[in-house]
Amino acid sequence: MKQVIFDKKNILIFGGAGFLGSHLCEELVKNNKIICVDNFVSSSVENIRFLMQLPNFRFIKHDIAQPLILENCLELKDFKIEFQGIQEIYNLACPTSAKNFDNYIIETLDANSLALKNILE
């Protein structure tokens, strides 16, 4: 039988401040450590403000079209990323509001191409 080393999984949620992402964060933070990454292009800090008070929730403002090195994020030191790693990844990052699509054409393309490439790397 495998011995459990860490009591909670590290879960990375891209687009975690959006409508769907914030609800996913809210549910998963109950039993896990959540790393929420968002750049607020089409989301709001108001969606996650209450989560930011929780000890198992960390927020990183970042455009995932750019590489992100989690081990360099000081706010994640107590999540022990360098030892435990990330157990689950959810990519909900995309400015999906139909009413704003024309305003975020490039950001939408980046979120669906460059961002996915960076996540997989």
CATH number, domain with residue 14? 3.40.50.720
- Residue 3: inside a domain: no
- Residue 116: inside a domain: yes
pLDDT tens track, the chain, 121 positions: 445 568 899 999 999 999 999 999 999 999 999 999 999 888 899 999 999 999 999 999 998 888 889 999 999 999 999 889 999 999 988 776 666 667 777 777 776 676 666 666 6
* CB 8 within 8 Å of CB 84: no
Single out the residue of 110, 106, 97, 105 nearest to residue 67, CA to CA. 110
Distance separating alpha carbons of residues 43 and 114, to the nearest angstrom: 19
- Residue 28: inside a domain: yes
Strand, coil or helix: what is 59? strand
- Residue 49: inside a domain: yes
What range defines the domain where residue 51 resides? 10-120
- Residue 32: inside a domain: yes
Distance separating alpha carbons of residues 96 and 100, to the nearest angstrom: 8
pTM of the model: 0.83
